[in-house]
Amino acid sequence: MAPADHRALFLHGLAGKAAVWQPIAAALPGGVAADAPELPWHGTADPAWAHRPDPGRHLVAAVRDDHDVVVAHSMAAMLLVEAYAGGRLRPRPTVLLCPFYRPDPADFDWPTISYYLTEFHRTFSEALRVGETARFPEARREWLARSLRDQVGPYGWTRWFETYLRTPFLDLAAIGAPVLVVSGVDDVAARPEDGRALAKALPRARFELLDGCGHFPMIERPDRLAALVRDFFEESLELT
């Protein structure tokens, strides 16, 4: 088998797993190989990953110089943007799926904090509503969602939310690489407004909103997402 001309990196979100990227990676253009590491905040991780600050260090360690393009979901998308903006990583063509972003510190009020704290499990409920767990009764899915919330734990929630709180202060002008931001119309976690505002603030970004999709487009709309990612890769890498 001939060696790949380019390498793509796929980064899952909080309580996610590397296997979620299989349908997207399988649709990549010829000559592009995929890496999808299991990050410390995967779904069955020891919650001790969050006991130390700076979860971004784990993400920075996963990105190599030969990763020409990156796809990042949810919390990983936030951490990746932060690493680009802070000069910890070289910006490169990137797809940001369902990112969390608010442009103004005043956007974080008490009702917002209350929602993300008390309704945190709803994101996991959404993940369990699609894919292989969709066949489970609703009561079991709700129990699993709360179990995932408890697995993440208060420290994991805090690391995630403090990353969200830092987004208004990021130097997005420093990110000169092309970016595709994708949000779902029905996302109860990362609002479509977040993705739209982030794309507007980045120098070279465009925004795609997926109908009939929530926080997990790689599960809910894999064919549509695969097409978007493939087209973005072909354009960014000038593949023929």
Domain coordinates in residue numbering, the chain: 6-237
pLDDT at 95 over 70: yes
Across residues 163-188, what is the average pLDDT? 98
At 239, is the pLDDT very low, low, confident or very high (cuts 50, 70, 90)? low
Return the structure tokens found at 7. 């390498």
Across residues 120-143, what is the average pLDDT? 90
Mean of per-residue pLDDT scores for the chain: 95
Residue % of the chain over a pLDDT of 70: 98
pLDDT at 210 over 80: yes
Total-model pTM? 0.95
Contact criterion met (CB below 8 Å) for 63 and 89:
yes
What SS3 state is found at 208? strand
Return the structure tokens found at 35. 């890496």
Across residues 35-43, what is the average pLDDT? 96
37 Cβ partners below 8 Å, 6+ apart?
9, 11, 18, 62
pLDDT of residue 29: 87
Q: What is the C-alpha separation between 231 and 163, in angstroms, rounded?
A: 30
pLDDT of residue 240: 44
pLDDT of residue 3: 57
pLDDT of residue 227: 96
Q: Report pLDDT digits (tens) over 136-161.
A: 999 999 999 999 999 999 999 999 99
At 170, is the pLDDT very low, low, confident or very high (cuts 50, 70, 90)? very high
CATH of domain 6-237: 3.40.50.1820
For the chain, first and last CA: distance in Å? Answer: 19
pLDDT at 86 over 60: yes
pLDDT at 1 over 60: no
The candidate with the shortest Cα–Cα distance to 123, out of 10, 219, 230, 11, is 219
pLDDT of residue 169: 98
Across residues 182-188, what is the average pLDDT? 97
At 104, is the pLDDT very low, low, confident or very high (cuts 50, 70, 90)? very high
